[in-house]
Structure 1
Amino acid sequence: MKEQTVPLFKPPLLVWTCLACFVQLGIFATSNGFYVWFPSILNSLANHEGDETKICDVLGANAANNNGTVAICDDTVNTMTFQRAILVGLVFCSMYLIVGIIVDLVGKKPILVIVLFAAGLCGISAHLVSNQLAAVSLFAIFQMSGACIGLLTAVVVELFPTKLRAMAVCLSLMFGRVGSVLGSNVIGILLETSCGVSFYLFGGLLIVCSLLCLTLPGKQNKKADKQAVLEPSLNEMHEPA
């Protein structure tokens, strides 16, 4: 294990190790962290009565109502919550299909940069809009960042030598799991105390991750690599049978 771990924290692999771990942590913390609270957010929006308002205003009103001396537990789940959850699931499915179709044509790096940047902007925008349908749609795209977990894992496999790949993938995913735990707890606290900060913080985190992905190597020319492999065999001398 030592032979597989120590080289990851030495130049020139140290930079890629830190980048992979940080980006995985950011993606897991945002997608899984918000997903834990997503049903509660949807239910609060569905049960909101009155004029359309921002997500954090609805959550803040619910928190204010529960600050009395007598706590009232309302476990009512609005059917609209399930409908909107299905919408988010469809967005996830469509995203995985689109990525699977275009990844060989476009490359992993552009998809990572574009998806993470767009998801970060949508996360910040979801806090700013007052229309519920628009807010839920933007929030669904915000959650779409989770589709980049597999892509980043594939990039990690390409970045490291064969004997270190398994450990590099495990290490990055371990940081991702840590991000899930930290993200869900931090978001839960912020939604009650400073709701807007949670959207700005984690939306900005995704944007930072997308900018870091710009440093990744570009798409390799597979045709050139294949030609390089074939050329030696074409130049070999063969004895007649």
Structure 2
Amino acid sequence: MACLFTLYQLLEAFLLWAPNIANQLMELLQAGGGRGLTLCQIIAAELDNDEDYVACSVNSTAMWLLLATCALHSVVTVLISWVVDAAGRRNMSIGITLACGVAGVLVNLVPDAVGSALMFLTFTTAVVVLGFYVAITVSLFPTHLRSMAVATTMLGTRVMSVGFLQLVNYLLAHACELGFYVCSALFASSALVLALLPDDRRQPARVDAPAGEHYSSRPEH
């Protein structure tokens, strides 16, 4: 599970680039360009700043696009919650990571600004699997160890996220295509790790001892 949380940090690092990507995309499209470009070419494009340009500013249309992206993630989460009981947390996670990993690879292969951006949007939708990862981790441990297991795993991944942020930042600035290929392939391969875990639909419900009751292994006479 620590491996899954580690791979998830790669996705969070890309999410931090979403405002910059959305702003660059809308500026290019409003200027009449951007067609025939992939997302990495958009990131690398240098815009001619006008007199009204403000450093660290975000295009208003790009801001609405980011809000719509967050709303989409919420809608996907609600839709998934309706079918997760039938499909299972593990199987849902496998399907999402595979689909979003493939979309991340297609970011470099779709020669259109809008199409490449839609692939990136699909790639970032994998953020919803964090809840599945936490739920799967909780179910693997007995009750008295669950809090420690989840806290330790999340602490380790948050610490490692600092390094992943710097890695993704360097890759997007100097080797954008390679960054998307490697990170998307790693994220999609996490489905193999998930496939090694037991199917939660077939696991019997764990019955814990009521509070205040203790069971002894010694036979009764």
What TM-score, normalized by structure 2, do the two folds share? 0.81
Deviation at 1:179, TM superposition (A): 4.0
Q: For residues 95-174 of structure 1, what are the structure 2 equivalents within 5 Å? A: 95-174=76-155
The answer on 1:56 being equivalent to 2:40 is yes
1:33 aligned residue: 13
Are positions 1:82 and 2:63 aligned together? yes
Output one character per residue of 1:23-44: Cα deviation in whole Å (capped at 9) or x when no partner.
01111221x1011111011111
- Which TM-score applies when normalising by structure 1? 0.75
Alignment coverage as a number of residue pairs: 199
- Name the aligned partner's letter for residue 173 of structure 2: E
CA distance in 2 between counterparts of 1:79 and 1:91 reads: 18
Aligned residue among 152, 167, 186 for 2:167:
186
Counterpart AA for 1:24: F
Give 1:34's aligned amino acid: F
> Does the CA contact (< 8 Å) of 1:119 and 1:145 recur in 2?
yes
| Aligned-partner Cα distance in 2 for 1:164–1:113 | 26
Larger Rg: 1
Runs of at least 5 residues in structure 2 that lack an aligned partner in the other structure: 207-221
- Please identify which structure carries the higher helix content: 1
The superposition leaves residues 186-218 of structure 1 with CA deviations (integer Å, 9 ceiling, x where unpaired) of 111111110111111210111111111011101
Q: Secondary structure at the match of 1:117?
A: helix
Residues 146-191 of structure 1: CA deviation (Å, up to 9, x unaligned): 1111111111111112222112111221233134322221111111
Q: 1:99 to 1:51 in 2, by over 3 A?
A: closer
Could you tell me the percent identity over the aligned residues? 24
Please tell me the residue identity of whatever aligns with 1:219: D
Aligned in 2, Cα 1:221/1:54: closer, same or farther, shift over 3 Å? closer
Q: 1:51, 1:89 → 2: CA distance?
A: 24
3-state SS of paired residue (1:133): helix
- Taking only aligned residues, the RMSD between alpha carbons, in angstroms, comes to 2.4
Task: Give the match's secondary structure for 1:127.
Answer: coil
**Alignment deviations for residues 206-240 of structure 1 (CA, whole Å, 9 cap, x no partner):** 11111110111013347x759xxxxxxxxxxxxxx
* TM superposition outliers: structure 1 runs of 4+ over 3 Å: 72-76
State whether residues 91 and 140 of structure 1, in contact with CA within 8 Å, keep that contact through their aligned partners in structure 2.
no
